[in-house]
Amino acid sequence: MKSAISTWVQELQSQLVAWRRDFHMYPETGWAEFRTASLVARELSQLGYDIKLGREVLSEQSRQGVPDTEELDKAWERARKEGAPREFLEPMKGGFTGVVGILEGISPGPTVALRFDMDANRLNESTFKDHRPYREGFASRHPGATHACGHDGHVAIGLGAAHILARLVPNLSGRVLLVFQPAEEDVGGAKAMVAADVLTGCKYFLSGHLGFGNSSLGEIGCGQEKFLATTKLDAVFTGKPAHAGMNPDAGKNALLAAALAALSIHAIPRHQGGADRVNVGYLVAGSGRNVVPERAVLELEIRGETTEVNQDMEERVRAALLGAAQIQQVGCQIDVVGSAPTAQSSPALIGQVRQMAQDQPWFKEFVTEARFSGSEDVAYMMRAVQDQGGQAAYIVFGTPVGTGHHTSEFDFDEEVLGQAATIYSTLTAELMAKGKVL
């Protein structure tokens, strides 16, 4: 079976690249992945998967950081014009862009779920001639959005695994769930899929990332390190406008409140309970040089080594926001637009990943100590499976990543697409062989 999978992946490699480049050209940000998700649904349907999508796989009340209706409607219409199949596009209106493909084996056995995130970053892609996507003609066609974290590759890998597993049905006992998740970048999508009971009864859960701290092709990472817990906040300061020259004392300055809050947040002492991060990544305020600014919008994130550290840091950040507002006598509305807990891979499944990787001819090194300090809302899914007695593993597939994740010149070696599809498919088949239990 391993030999067959290797052969099939080699046959699929050019298609994996084609999928990746297509998704790269048409990036869609969180909750607006209409074209991406509908194309995924069509491909899975054609392979014989039972398809669930839209509100079937997303709890409306648990979604976080959803754009306004106008933005979503524009993105939906753009996807329609760019070739999204209408039969799958229609149920996604309103930002319900999750897709789950279900494949039944020939006999009862465990449920194995594979998760792939689909959203792009809010970032303009590089137009430098040395940037390969631009040079070779598959750079982003959507201003303000680009796949700068590899999720275009994740979707392609998921479709590759879908093809291989469909061929393996006569050898599978149990059920495969292919979970294509929206809105990972602002950690808003996984929680909503868990709340929709997508993973109920799941015994094994696998997900991963391209080049997340591992920069060499053939390097596989999967260990005991935890993701950092995180909270994403938006703060809107509301003051009172006034003529800046004639009567500045009549105004209430929202810009100064936001600026003071930003400085105060970055001055919060480091936490003794573990690693922490704070970052104000966006601040927009005011309407003109001669008007006391009446409104300011600040977007920030908090991360903590543990959920408790993250919660404590969030309390301090909220105090800084409200304190700055009080000093300037302005209002402050704080909204949570994304969050994720900590999570770590299950030891037994880590061993299975290691063995599977070492059996591959292209394998070079297995890394058990992650070299990153990131957060991932996949943690909701991992914990949901582990809390019901199952096992979960997060796999990092090594590849060079250009100037790094979340930068305008991000790119990766497309050879990694076949490597990842091989690991996912082979490991899933192994876990489902005669209902195997680790």
Taking the C-alpha atoms of residue 40 and residue 46, their distance in angstroms, rounded to an integer, is 10
Per-residue CA distances from 191 to 75, 111, 263 (Å) = 23, 20, 31
Place of tokens 């409306």: 60
Pick from 32, 20, 31: nearest CA to 159: 20
**Strands (DSSP E) found in 35-123:** 50-53, 99-104, 107-117
- The answer to whether 333 and 236 have CB atoms below 8 angstroms apart is yes
pLDDT at position 435 is: 53
pLDDT digits (tens), the chain, 438 positions: 888 999 999 999 999 999 999 999 999 999 999 999 999 999 999 999 999 999 999 999 999 999 999 999 999 999 999 999 999 999 999 999 999 999 999 999 999 999 999 999 999 999 999 999 999 999 999 999 999 999 999 999 999 999 999 999 999 999 999 999 999 998 989 999 999 999 999 999 999 999 987 789 999 999 867 889 999 999 999 999 999 999 999 999 999 999 999 999 999 998 999 999 999 999 999 999 999 999 999 999 999 999 999 999 999 999 999 999 999 999 999 999 999 999 999 999 999 999 999 999 999 999 987 655 678 999 999 999 999 999 999 999 999 998 999 999 999 999 999 999 999 999 999 999 855 555
Taking the C-alpha atoms of residue 108 and residue 81, their distance in angstroms, rounded to an integer, is 42
pLDDT at position 213 is: 76
Cβ contacts of residue 70 below 8 Å, gap of 6+? none
pLDDT at position 177 is: 98
Taking the C-alpha atoms of residue 132 and residue 280, their distance in angstroms, rounded to an integer, is 31
- The answer to whether 213 and 396 have CB atoms below 8 angstroms apart is yes
- The answer to whether 252 and 236 have CB atoms below 8 angstroms apart is no
Per-residue CA distances from 323 to 74, 257, 307, 337 (Å) = 38, 9, 24, 21
pLDDT at position 370 is: 60
- The answer to whether 147 and 11 have CB atoms below 8 angstroms apart is no
- The answer to whether 224 and 350 have CB atoms below 8 angstroms apart is yes
| Confidence (pTM) | 0.92
pLDDT at position 437 is: 52
DSSP state, residue 114:
E
pLDDT at position 434 is: 59
Neighbour count for residue 254 (Cβ, 10 Å): 28
Cβ contacts of residue 78 below 8 Å, gap of 6+? 34, 35, 142
Single-letter amino acid, residue 252 = K
Tokens representing residue 278 in the block: 């704070």
Phi, psi torsion values for 145, nearest 5 degrees: -145, 140
Place of tokens 């704080």: 334
pLDDT at position 327 is: 97
pLDDT at position 310 is: 95
For the chain, list the domains and their CATH numbers. Answer: 2-225+343-435 (3.40.630.10), 229-339 (3.30.70.360)
